[in-house]
Each structure stands twice: as structure tokens, then as C-alpha cells.
């Protein structure tokens, strides 16, 4: 005798189970220590800086429906604010309640000027589970002379890093989800299309979009824990798991960053900020540090390449991201840039696409994400550990198939 399985989709059955789990807004889930996942990433950039509507990225992400289970999704938009707001830091927050918001505003006012603030527009999506935190944005100018900063007379960027780490670590019920200029992150606990609808991202046109959909295996949904994970204008969408997390975490903490988001992606974001912004290293060098070539391949480089490669591996060994990963990284300065790369064993999928008219570049976990919005495109895989770099105004600067020191780009 056998009992046949019912005809409804398996995915729906699992999602009913997730609905019974507790969900969290800004406040950290109790008792959680680490959240793992298997996910989808997608990105699009108009290389002339023309605007791409948000529904395009939402469609890319949602096409990869198998890569999410409704426990988190997010979008980062670059180049979306008008000229009078582009040069201010746009801080977007998730607040669990008004109190968290008040404390945060006080904190910010002690450290600079809030030029403008507003509720981030949202729409009602019935299927989106509570809690639904308050999402608010502040256009902010920090004052490095403020007594409240621990380090005196530091740069504005450093002020912002200190402020964001301070709020995320110390103010309960408040999490800053983006803190860069001319960019913003929209994310939460829900399916990719639910989050897209909740934030009505179709109302935004941006030169570049990065996005991520989650498939956590063992944790409750948490608005703040979704990707992209962002600091200043850096945002990272990550598929995979970093086996060197303990080492990388200590390294970034030793350099002054505070990890509070319970996900390995956080260390990736801070490592990019440390290597590129603070240490001034070009993006391809940072990529070599995070996904270094094997020693046996270093031996076959020319003298200068060998010397440089050994220096990078020896000096920055704690920044090596071990384990399978594919990541999309975005920044807005000096120009809007997209970086796409996979680990040195290429254990996670990553497709790059360029539209036939040469105007748009795509990156995604699966080809169907690209094809669903761009019928005519060339697609290719980047080499393991080799970054694809595309920049507004310049196009695809690196295709991701060049040797490690082949194209020395900023």
C-alpha cells in the first residue's frame, strides 16, 4: 500500500513551514550565531549611465525562482538620485520602532547634519510576513570635527564607517542598510518579487542594479540579514560560504571594523573597503588577494608578476576568501563600477552577459536571468578568481578572462 504525494508544488509545502518560523526586522534573531545559505545573484548596468528601471532587475532575480525560498531578497541601486542629493551620504535604515528611530536621529545629529530625511516609499504586500520594519532614509553630511567621533579629524568616509558601526552595534532595533553616496539598498525578509513590490523598485531608474535572493537553510528570516550587505558605497551580493570566515573576521576586526550581521558576506564587504579604499589598491589586485592564483601558477608568471604575487599572498593571507563563492560588488566612486568574480576553483556559478548592442552588461548565477530580460546577448563565464569589471562611461574594462596582472585597472 502506498500513499501518493499530493499534487501541489514541493516548494510551496516548504514555504508553509517557513511561515511558522519567527521573523525579525532590524533586531538580531536571538540565539542565532550564524546563517548559511545558497542563493541567487543578478546585476545589470547600463554602461553609458542611462537609466535602467528597477523592474528589470526584479525580473532577472525572480526568474531564478529555484534559488530562493522567501527568506530574504535585496536590491542595490546606483546612480539614482538627482544632482542636488548625489553628493550627500544616503543612509537607509530599518527601524523596529519609533524609539530606535529617535535614538538614531539623535546619534546622527551629534555627528553631523541631516540635510533631508524621508520615509522610503513602500507598498502593502499582503504575503509579506510581519514584522515590517520602518524604512527611512537620511541625506547626511558628517562633521569630522564633532567631539563624538573617537578619532579626531578623520575623513568623512571614516566618520561614516564609525557612525554606521556604532549604530549597528549599539542601538537596538536599528540597522543601517546602506550608507553610500548616490546609491541605496532595498532589502527584506520575503521573496524577490515581494521585496521588489514592497519597495516599489520599479519607481527607481538607476544606472546599475545589484540583487540577491536567499535560500537560508536553517535560520529565521531577518530583514537586516538579507543581501546586499553594504558599507559606504560598497555593496556585495554573495552566493556561497566562506570557509575561512573565522580568519577573515579577525582580520577585518583587527582593522577596526565591527561584524554585527551574522553572515560571512559582511567580511567580504569590509575587506573590499579595507583593500581598495583604505589601502588604495586597484580592484584587480584586491581580487588577487581575495582569490589568489595557485603557487604553481605564480611560478609561471614573469619576474615582476611573481614578486608581486608572492608579496600579496604573504602580506594579505588573512584576506584570502577560502571556499566556494560568486560575488557581485558595486561602488559608486570614482565612477559607478560593477565587479563580478568567482572563487579560484569556480565552485559557484557566475555568468556574464553583454547585450548585442554593447550598451548593457549583466551578471547572474544563471543564464536564464539574463535571457529573461535580454534576448540578444553574448554570455560567457569568467575565469576562476578573475574579476569582470565594468564601469559607467567606460564599458567592460575587464572581461574576467585576463591573467591576474594582465589588465591593471583602477
Partner 1 sequence: MSAAERQGSVLRDRFLPFISEDCVRCGRCVKECSFDALVKQEGRIVANGGCVACMRCVEMCPSSAIEVRHAPPQMAPHPTFTGRVRESIIAQAGSGGVLLSSCGTDLPYDVIFDDIVLDAAQVTNPSIDPLREPIETITFVGRRSGRVRLDDGGRLLGGSGPLVAMDMPLMLGHVSLGAVSLNAQEALFMAAEKLNVLAGSGEGGLHPDMYRYADHVNSEVASGRFGVTPEYLRRTAAVEIKIGQGAKPGHGGHLPGEKVTELISSTRMIPLGTDALSPYPHHDIYSIEDLQQLIAVLKESTEYQVPVGVKIAAVHNVGAIASGVVRAGADFITVDGFRGGTGSSPRVIRDHAGIPIEVAIAAVDRRLSQEGLRNRVTLCAGGTIRGSADMIKALALGADVAMVCTAALVAMGCRVCQSCHRGVCAWGIATQRPELTSRLDPEQGARRIVNLFHAWNEELKEVLGAMGIDSVESLVGNRDRLRYLGPNPKLAEIMGIKHIGEGWG
Partner 2 sequence: MTSVTSDVRIMRDGRKEATIDASSRDPHGRPVDQQTLNEEIRRVIAAGAGRISVTGVMGQRYIASACTDRELYIRIDGTPGNGLGAFLDGPTIEVFGNAQDMTGNTMACGRIIVHGNAWDVTGLAARGGRILIRDSSGYRVGIHMKEYGGSAPSIIIGGQAGDYLGEYMAGGSILVLGNGCRRSPVGSSIGAGMHGGSIYVRGPVEKHQLGIGAALQPLDDTDRQRLEDMISDFERCFSLRVTRNWPEYLKIAPLSSRPFCGHFDPIPI
The catalytic residue positions are: 39
Q: Check: CB of residue 50 under 8 Å from CB of residue 249.
A: no
384 binds partner 1 (CB under 8 A): no
Question: CA angle, corner 49, sides to 44 and 51, nearest 5?
Answer: 70
Chain centroid to CA 81:
19
Check binding of 314 to partner 1 (CB under 8 A).
yes
CA 400 to each of CA 59, 300, 381, 397: distance values in angstroms, whole numbers, following the listed order? 25, 19, 8, 9
The H or E element containing residue 303 is helix 303-315
Q: Which residues contact 327 (CB under 8 A, 6 or more apart)?
A: 41, 236, 237, 238, 239, 240, 268, 339, 340, 341, 342
User: Is 60 within 8 Å of 44 (Cβ atoms)?
Assistant: yes
Site string for partner 2, 190-229 (x = CB under 8 A): ---x--xx--------------------------------
- Count of residues in contact with partner 2, rule CB under 8 A: 31
Shortest distance in whole angstroms from residue 381 CB to partner 2: 5
Closest CA to 54 of 76, 21, 70: 76
Binding at 116: pick from partner 2, partner 1, none (beta carbon under 5-8 Å per type):
none
Binding site partner of 146, from partner 1, partner 2, none, Cβ cut-off 5-8 A by kind: none
Q: Does 297 bind partner 2 (CB under 8 A)?
A: yes
Note whether 93 binds partner 1 by CB under 8 A: no
Binding of partner 1 at residue 300 (CB under 8 A)?
no
Tell me the C-alpha distance between 198 and 86, whole Å.
Answer: 24
Contact 330, 319 (CB under 8 A): no
How many residues does the structure list for the chain? Answer: 410
In the list 46, 62, 269, 386, the residue contacting partner 2 (rule: CB under 8 A) is: 62
Which of these ranges, 128-136, 152-160, 317-325, 372-380, lies near partner 1 under the rule CB under 8 A? 317-325
Residue 311 contacts partner 1 per CB under 8 A: yes
Residue 137 vs 191, nearer CB to partner 2: 191
Q: How far is CA 376 from the centre of its chain?
A: 27
> Taking CB within 5 to 8 Å according to partner kind, which of partner 2, partner 1, none is near residue 93?
none
Question: Are 120 and 137 within 8 A, CB to CB?
Answer: yes
Q: Are 156 and 112 in contact (CB under 8 A)?
A: no
Q: Which is nearer to partner 1, 326 or 355 (CB)?
A: 326
Contact between 372 and partner 2 per CB under 8 A: yes
* Residue 14 in contact with partner 1, rule: CB under 8 A: no
Q: Which residues from 319-348 bind partner 1, rule CB under 8 A?
A: 320, 322-324, 344-345, 347
* Residue 331 makes contact with partner 2 by CB under 8 A: no
Q: Which residues bind partner 1 (CB under 8 A)?
A: 33-34, 36-38, 217, 241, 243-247, 250-251, 253-255, 262, 279-282, 285, 292, 294-296, 304, 307-308, 310-312, 314-318, 320, 322-324, 344-345, 347, 405, 408
Amino acid at each position: 500500500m502506498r500513499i501518493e504525494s499530493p499534487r501541489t508544488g514541493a516548494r510551496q509545502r516548504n514555504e508553509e513551514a517557513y511561515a511558522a518560523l519567527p521573523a525579525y526586522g532590524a533586531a538580531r534573531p536571538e540565539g542565532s550565531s550564524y546563517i548559511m545559505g545558497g542563493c541567487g545573484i543578478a546585476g545589470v548596468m547600463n554602461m553609458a549611465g542611462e537609466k535602467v528601471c528597477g523592474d528589470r532587475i526584479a525580473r532577472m532575480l525572480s526568474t531564478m525562482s529555484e534559488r530562493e525560498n522567501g527568506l530574504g531578497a535585496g536590491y542595490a541601486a546606483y546612480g539614482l538620485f538627482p544632482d542636488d542629493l548625489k553628493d550627500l551620504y544616503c543612509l537607509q535604515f530599518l527601524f523596529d520602532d519609533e524609539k530606535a528611530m529617535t535614538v538614531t536621529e539623535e546619534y546622527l545629529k551629534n555627528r553631523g547634519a541631516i540635510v533631508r530625511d524621508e520615509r522610503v516609499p513602500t507598498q502593502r504586500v499582503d504575503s509579506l510576513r510581519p514584522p515590517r520594519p520602518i524604512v527611512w532614509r537620511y541625506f547626511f553630511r558628517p562633521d569630522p570635527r564633532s567631539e563624538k567621533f573617537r578619532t579626531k579629524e578623520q575623513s568623512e568616509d571614516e566618520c561614516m564607517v564609525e557612525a554606521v558601526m556604532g549604530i549597528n552595534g549599539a542601538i537596538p532595533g536599528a540597522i543601517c542598510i546602506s550608507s553610500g553616496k548616490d546609491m541605496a539598498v532595498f532589502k527584506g525578509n520575503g521573496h524577490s518579487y515581494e521585496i521588489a513590490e514592497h519597495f516599489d523598485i520599479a519607481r527607481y531608474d538607476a544606472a546599475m542594479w545589484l540583487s540577491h535572493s536567499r535560500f537560508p537553510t536553517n535560520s529565521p528570516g531577518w530583514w537586516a540579514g538579507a543581501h546586499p550587505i553594504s558599507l559606504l558605497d560598497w555593496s556585495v551580493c554573495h552566493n556561497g560560504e566562506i570557509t575561512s570566515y573565522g580568519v577573515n573576521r579577525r582580520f577585518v576586526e583587527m582593522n577596526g571594523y565591527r561584524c554585527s550581521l551574522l553572515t560571512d558576506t559582511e567580511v567580504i564587504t569590509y575587506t573590499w573597503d579595507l583593500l581598495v579604499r583604505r589601502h588604495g589598491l586597484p580592484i584587480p589586485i584586491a581580487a588577487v588577494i581575495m582569490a589568489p592564483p595557485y603557487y604553481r601558477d605564480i611560478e609561471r608568471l614573469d619576474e615582476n608578476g611573481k614578486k608581486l604575487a608572492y608579496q600579496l599572498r604573504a602580506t594579505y593571507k588573512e584576506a584570502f576568501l577560502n571556499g566556494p563563492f560568486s560575488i557581485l560588488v558595486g561602488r559608486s566612486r570614482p565612477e559607478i563600477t560593477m565587479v563580478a568574480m568567482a572563487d579560484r576553483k569556480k565552485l559557484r556559478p557566475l555568468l556574464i552577459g553583454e547585450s548585442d548592442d554593447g550598451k548593457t552588461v549583466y551578471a547572474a548565477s544563471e543564464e536564464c536571468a539574463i535571457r529573461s530580460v535580454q534576448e540578444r546577448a553574448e554570455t560567457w563565464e569568467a575565469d576562476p578568481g578573475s574579476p569582470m569589471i565594468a564601469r559607467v562611461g567606460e564599458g567592460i574594462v575587464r572581461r574576467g578572462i585576463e591573467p591576474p596582472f594582465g589588465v591593471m585597472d583602477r
